[in-house]
Structure 1
C-alpha cells in the first residue's frame, strides 16, 4: 500500500521572520509613539480624547485607536499630523521618555540642568506675576 504525501503549500506556510532585530525596533517605536501620544493627550485638556485629537489632527479615530493600541505602524503623514496637533516636530513623538508636561525636552537631562530649569521657571513665574 502506497501512502499519499501532502506537500505544504508555500503560499500559505508561515514565513520565518528574516529580520527579528527590525521587528523588535518597530515594536519599540510603536510602544514609544503610543505612550507619547497618550501622555500628551492626558496633559492637554483640549486634546484629551480621540475625538478631539482626530478633529485637531485630521487623523481618523480608527487610525488613532490602531496607533495607540500598537496594532499598526503609523505612517509618516500620521505622525506629522499628530505632532502638529501638539505643536511638536514629528521626530519628537518617537523620542523615548518624552516629557508630556514639557514635550520640547526629554526627561533625560542632567541634575544640574534640572536645577537650572527649575530656577528659570521660578524666575519666569515671578516676572509673570509682576
Structure 2
C-alpha cells in the first residue's frame, strides 16, 4: 500500500478487499490525512470480477479528503521494484521476474530478496 502527500509506504501481505479494509483502518487512525492511497497487489489467480469489485469498493470508500486507487501487478509485484533498478522489456512470468529482482538486489546491494521483505522500498528509493 502506498499513500499520498508524504510518500508513505507499507507492505501488508494482504490482497484485494482485505487490503482495502487494511488501508481504510490505517487512514482512520493516521495522525495526518492522506489525499491519495494506492492499493498495490499481485494479479495472482484472482478472477477478473474480484478486481472489478475492488475498483468499485475503492470508489465507494473515496471521499473529498481521500481517494483510494486499486493497482495490480501482472505478472507480479516484483516487476515494480525491478523497474526501479533496471530497464527491461523482456517478457517474464512471475518466477522469472522474482529471480531477476533477486539477482539485481544481490548484485547491487548484497541483499537476499524474499517475498514481503521489509525495507525494500527504502532500499530501492535511494
Structure 1-normalised TM-score? 0.29
Identify, as 1 or 2, the structure richer in strand: 2
Identify, as 1 or 2, the structure richer in helix: 1
Structure 2-normalised TM-score? 0.30
Larger Rg: 1
